């Protein structure tokens, strides 16, 4: 037995003894066992007709032990341990190999909860090793105490010490000590907050040590005035950071560049990353590395015919923040052989309208210990930055845990050699945010809103500001017709000079029937720095023609005039859906766009067209049978030839109860890459007794492409036991 296995056994035995000492009830101790055995046979045929055969066997052992004990009314203990080991034996043309992927760990939490005082101590130890990568250990101690008296400031102090290293001390050996003190006081309508943090990472491999002390003080005010006609909000934030660095080797210093907000978008035809506008997504920058942000890059979307690009980005407070590394966190581990199936790209923008590609300067990697991709990019400065990728291609892996891979966080960094970082660096900043909205004329719903942002940073010296003044109104012209109007003046400087622009729009909303609604909107924008004038008119209509039958259409046209070119664009989309009964539904859609560019650099106009038709049907005739089929036919594309993406899915579950039988079938055709993927998976689930379940599944995967043809068959048998 290896040292790791012996250590894991000792951990589990120690926890079991502790549980026996503390447990007065059987339900405070739980043990979860999940062994799974899989056999896979794969045949791959290349363009020359040569066939290679690969057999693999995989044994997965997944065990968890949990103890939850209340030692007294105010004192509780939670502890646990895990052991996960997946061994894969492979026999192929190059011989036999063994791939061992292991993880084990223990944790403990001791918590004291009193009416006005909470405190806790915790310990975490995790040891992971993947074939081809160094074995990495992560050990963390932490303590926290919080004082929460009534009508007085709430104070929290947290201290942590973490050590991450590989057992050979060859690639990773970093010790990080940190402390965080925060105070919060909220006498309405004020909020006061103060945060003092100290962080000391010590990189023994790179020979660098840095000390960082951050102080942030913030005051906010929010109130309704003038008989609730005016709503005001103001906040003042003061920040000071002092960083000292010492080095004796060739290590690097990683400085996190924190954005103002998170942004995201799922591309829908004919959208493309170069001209998209991302929407706010606070979950991408909320600090949670485990909670999904509604962006799925697993292979599940591809099985349903969704290969739309996922865009995940951030917005900075200025346009001069340097970044050369982007980290994209996900909710699970992605194995090394799957990481290469993703294609990543990075873009920058100053206005969230026009994007420019940023070169990726090295291989995109997935961390051996943390669930994150790391994208090294050319150092860039921009107001907006985004990473773009598509969901995994169906059939790229048989790992069912990767059917859904949720993006959880996007982080940006500046990584520099320690020798390029000043030994002492102090940065101070102050930021003022204020806004007010006032109802001027109730009958016309005429409102005035003003927003002011002013920030000053010292070392480096940067001053940024933004001022927005707007007037908006809406009137009910009749029982079925409503008019809206708005004009806004924007002046800002993101660190690169003054930018002024004016925006305006006016529209009519007509609802003659509860089942019919339509709108006509005109909008415009003038950007002074670029001398660009944009005029756009859009129309929308939706009608519920009959019970279960509806249709909607929208069309838009815009003209952009600037100093070098004139651009004309138009889009038209039509969608109809029918639900004749509760067993079946149909959807049919048409999406198209056209553009023409008159440029001073070209005598002839440049034309571009796109058109696509979508159709889908979903049926669920019985509780045991369901299915769907989708077809997307791209008729006209700016470059390339027409293509089809079609997907068929069937699910059948004839048995219910303790013995459950199910079968799933999916077939995807992509003529753009001339690829066909077919997956058939029958499965059997047997609930032997309470908390004891046995599962068996058989997966047949067939993928064909111009380069090769792959046939794979996998039998998997597993048992799960919870005590």
Q: What is the pLDDT of residues 236-247, one digit of tens each?
A: 999 999 999 888
Q: What integer is the mean pLDDT of 92-119?
A: 91
**Measured between alpha carbons, how far apart are the two ends of the chain, in Å?**
26
Q: What is the pLDDT of residues 112-128, one digit of tens each?
A: 999 899 999 999 999 98
pLDDT computed for residue 8 by the predictor: 39
Per mean pLDDT, which of 248-252, 260-264, 634-638 is the most reliable? 260-264
Count of domains for the chain: 2
Q: What integer is the mean pLDDT of 147-163?
A: 94
Is 361 part of a structural domain of the chain? yes
Put the strands of the sheet holding 356-358 in their side by side order.
279-280, 261-266, 310-315, 384-389, 345-349, 356-358
Nearest Cα neighbor of 54 from 86, 88, 87, 85 is 88
* Residue 639: band (very low, low, confident or very high) from pLDDT cuts 50, 70, 90: low
Compare 405 and 2 and report the one with higher pLDDT: 405
Is 266 part of a structural domain of the chain? yes
What one-character-per-residue DSSP string does 318-379 give? SS--EEEEEEEEESS---HHHHTT---EEEEESSSSS-EEE-B-S--EE-SSSSEEEEEEEE
Nearest Cα neighbor of 504 from 523, 518, 490, 478 is 523
128 and 272, same domain (yes or no): no
Q: What is the pLDDT of residues 305-364, one digit of tens each?
A: 888 999 999 999 888 899 999 999 999 988 888 898 999 999 999 889 889 999 999 999
Cα gap 269→265, rounded to integer Å: 12
Is 289 part of a structural domain of the chain? yes
Cα gap 642→189, rounded to integer Å: 60
* 62, 34 contact by CB (below 8 A): yes
Nearest Cα neighbor of 619 from 652, 586, 647, 589 is 586
pLDDT computed for residue 256 by the predictor: 87
Put the strands of the sheet holding 407-417 in their side by side order.
252-256, 407-417, 322-330, 372-381, 365-366
DSSP-derived letter for residue 419 is G
Residue 11 in 3-state DSSP?
helix
Q: Give bridge partners of residue 239 from the DSSP assignment.
A: 216, 429
Is 13 part of a structural domain of the chain? yes
Q: What integer is the mean pLDDT of 564-584?
A: 92
Q: What is the pLDDT of residues 270-308, one digit of tens each?
A: 778 888 899 999 999 988 888 899 999 998 888 878 889
Q: Which residues contact 644 (CB under 8 A, 6 or more apart)?
A: 631, 632, 633, 634, 669, 670, 671
For residue 132, what are its two tokens? 């081809």
Question: Omega into 488 within 30° of 0, i.e. cis?
Answer: no
Nearest Cα neighbor of 193 from 220, 158, 217 is 217
pLDDT computed for residue 659 by the predictor: 87
pLDDT computed for residue 19 by the predictor: 39
For residue 499, what are its two tokens? 């930018």
Cα gap 182→157, rounded to integer Å: 7
Is 570 part of a structural domain of the chain? no
Give the CATH number for residue 324: 2.60.120.260
Is 53 part of a structural domain of the chain? yes
Q: Which region among 41-55, 365-379, 646-660, 701-715 has the lowest average model confidence (pLDDT)?
A: 646-660
Cα gap 286→441, rounded to integer Å: 39
Is 19 part of a structural domain of the chain? yes
Residue 83 in 3-state DSSP?
strand
Q: What is the pLDDT of residues 514-545, one digit of tens each?
A: 999 999 999 999 998 888 999 999 999 999 98
Residue 457 in 3-state DSSP?
strand
Compare 83 and 253 and report the one with higher pLDDT: 83
Domain that holds residue 73: 1-106+124-133
Is 376 part of a structural domain of the chain? yes
pLDDT at 2 over 50: no
Compare 610 and 373 and report the one with higher pLDDT: 373
Largest CA distance in the chain: 87
Where is the domain boundary, 372, 391, 420?
420
For residue 275, what are its two tokens? 């001209």
Residue 587 in 3-state DSSP?
strand
* Residue 135: band (very low, low, confident or very high) from pLDDT cuts 50, 70, 90: confident
Q: Which helix (H) or strand (E) holds 241?
A: strand 230-247
Nearest Cα neighbor of 415 from 588, 255, 623 is 255
Cα gap 113→108, rounded to integer Å: 16
Q: What is the mean pLDDT of the chain?
A: 89
Q: What integer is the mean pLDDT of 10-25?
A: 41
User: What is the share, in percent, of the chain residues with pLDDT greater than 90?
Assistant: 61
pLDDT at 144 over 90: yes
pLDDT at 21 over 80: no
pLDDT at 169 over 60: yes
Residue identified by tokens 């995994």 is 392
Cα gap 277→354, rounded to integer Å: 8
pLDDT computed for residue 190 by the predictor: 94
268 and 414, same domain (yes or no): yes
* Residue 187: band (very low, low, confident or very high) from pLDDT cuts 50, 70, 90: very high
129 and 273, same domain (yes or no): no
* 259, 281 contact by CB (below 8 A): no
pLDDT at 24 over 70: no
With b meaning 16 or more CB within 10 Å and e meaning fewer, what string describes 374-412?
bbbbeebbbbbbbbbbbbbbbbbbbbeebbbbbbbbbbb
For residue 604, what are its two tokens? 């002839």
Q: Give bridge partners of residue 428 from the DSSP assignment.
A: 240, 458
* 245, 209 contact by CB (below 8 A): yes
129 and 267, same domain (yes or no): no
Q: What is the pLDDT of residues 447-499, one digit of tens each?
A: 999 999 999 988 778 899 999 999 999 999 999 999 999 999 999 998 888 99
pTM value surpassing 0.75:
yes
For residue 541, what are its two tokens? 């209509």
């Amino acid at each position: 037995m290896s040292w790791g296995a012996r250590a894991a056994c000792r951990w589990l035995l120690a926890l079991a003894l502790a549980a026996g000492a503390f447990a007065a009830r059987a339900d405070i101790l739980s043990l979860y066992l999940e062994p799974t055995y899989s056999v896979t046979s794969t045949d791959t045929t290349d363009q020359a007709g040569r066939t290679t055969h690969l057999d693999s066997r995989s044994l997965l052992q997944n065990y968890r032990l949990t103890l939850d004990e209340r030692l007294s009314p105010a004192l509780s203990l939670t502890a646990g341990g895990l052991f996960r080991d997946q061994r894969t034996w492979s026999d192929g043309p190059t011989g036999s190999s063994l791939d061992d992927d292991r993880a084990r760990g223990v944790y403990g939490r001791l918590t004291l909860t009193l009416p006005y005082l909470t405190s806790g101590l915790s310990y975490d130890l995790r040891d992971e090793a993947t074939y081809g990568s160094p074995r990495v250990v992560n050990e963390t101690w932490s303590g926290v105490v919080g004082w929460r008296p009534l009508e007085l400031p709430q104070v929290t102090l947290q201290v942590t010490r973490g050590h991450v290293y590989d057992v050979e001390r060859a690639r990773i050996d970093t010790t990080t000590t940190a402390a965080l003190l925060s105070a919060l006081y909220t006498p309405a309508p004020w909020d006061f907050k103060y945060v003092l943090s100290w962080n000391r990472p010590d990189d023994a491999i790179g020979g660098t040590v840095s000390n960082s002390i951050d102080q942030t003080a913030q005051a906010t005010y929010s109130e309704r005035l003038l008989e609730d006609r005016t709503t005001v909000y103001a906040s003042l934030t003061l920040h000071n950071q002092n960083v000292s660095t010492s080095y004796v080797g060739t290590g690097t210093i990683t400085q996190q560049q924190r954005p103002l907000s998170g942004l995201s978008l799922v591309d829908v035809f004919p959208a493309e990353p170069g001209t998209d506008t991302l929407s706010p997504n606070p979950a991408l920058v909320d600090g949670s590395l485990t909670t999904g942000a509604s962006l799925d890059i697993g292979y599940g979307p591809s099985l349903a015919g969704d290969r739309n690009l996922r865009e995940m980005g951030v917005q900075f407070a200025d346009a001069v923040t340097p970044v050369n590394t982007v980290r994209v966190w996900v909710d699970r581990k992605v194995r090394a052989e799957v990481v290469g199936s993703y294609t990543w790209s990075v873009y920058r923008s100053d206005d969230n309208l026009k994007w420019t590609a940023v070169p990726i300067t090295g291989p995109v990697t997935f961390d051996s210990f943390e669930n994150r991709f790391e994208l090294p990019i050319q150092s860039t400065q921009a107001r907006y930055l985004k990473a773009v990728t598509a969901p995994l291609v169906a059939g790229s892996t048989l790992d069912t845990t990767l059917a859904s891979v949720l993006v959880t966080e996007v982080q940006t960094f500046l990584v520099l050699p320690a020798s390029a970082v000043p030994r002492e660096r102090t940065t101070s900043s102050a930021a003022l945010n204020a806004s007010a909205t006032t109802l001027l004329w109730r009958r016309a719903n005429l409102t005035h809103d003003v927003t002011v942002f002013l920030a000053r940073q010292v070392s480096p010296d940067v001053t940024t500001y933004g001022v927005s003044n707007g007037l908006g109104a809406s009137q009910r012209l009749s029982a079925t017709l409503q008019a809206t109007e708005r004009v806004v003046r924007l002046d800002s400087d993101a660190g690169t000079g003054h930018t002024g622009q004016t925006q305006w729009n006016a529209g009519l909303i007509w609802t003659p029937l509860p089942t019919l609604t339509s709108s006509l909107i005109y909008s415009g924008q003038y950007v002074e720095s670029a001398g660009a004038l944009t005029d756009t008119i859009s129309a929308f209509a939706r009608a519920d023609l009959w019970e279960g039958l509806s249709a909607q259409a929208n069309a838009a046209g815009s003209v952009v005039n600037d100093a070098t070119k004139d651009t004309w664009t138009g889009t038209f989309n039509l969608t109809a859906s029918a639900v004749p009964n509760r067993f079946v539904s149909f959807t049919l859609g048409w999406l198209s766009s056209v553009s023409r560019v008159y440029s001073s650099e070209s005598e002839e106009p440049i034309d571009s067209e796109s058109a696509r038709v979508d159709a889908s049907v979903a049926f669920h005739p019985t509780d045991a049978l369901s299915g769907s089929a989708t077809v997307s036919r791209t008729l006209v594309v700016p470059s390339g030839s027409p293509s089809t993406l079609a997907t068929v899915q069937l699910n059948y579950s004839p048995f219910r109860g303790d013995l459950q039988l199910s079968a799933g079938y999916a077939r995807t055709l992509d003529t753009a890459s001339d690829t066909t993927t077919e997956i058939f998976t029958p499965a059997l689930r047997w609930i032997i007794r309470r908390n004891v379940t046995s599962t068996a599944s058989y997966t047949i995967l067939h993928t064909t492409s111009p380069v090769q043809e792959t046939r794979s068959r996998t039998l998997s048998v597993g048992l799960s036991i919870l005590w």
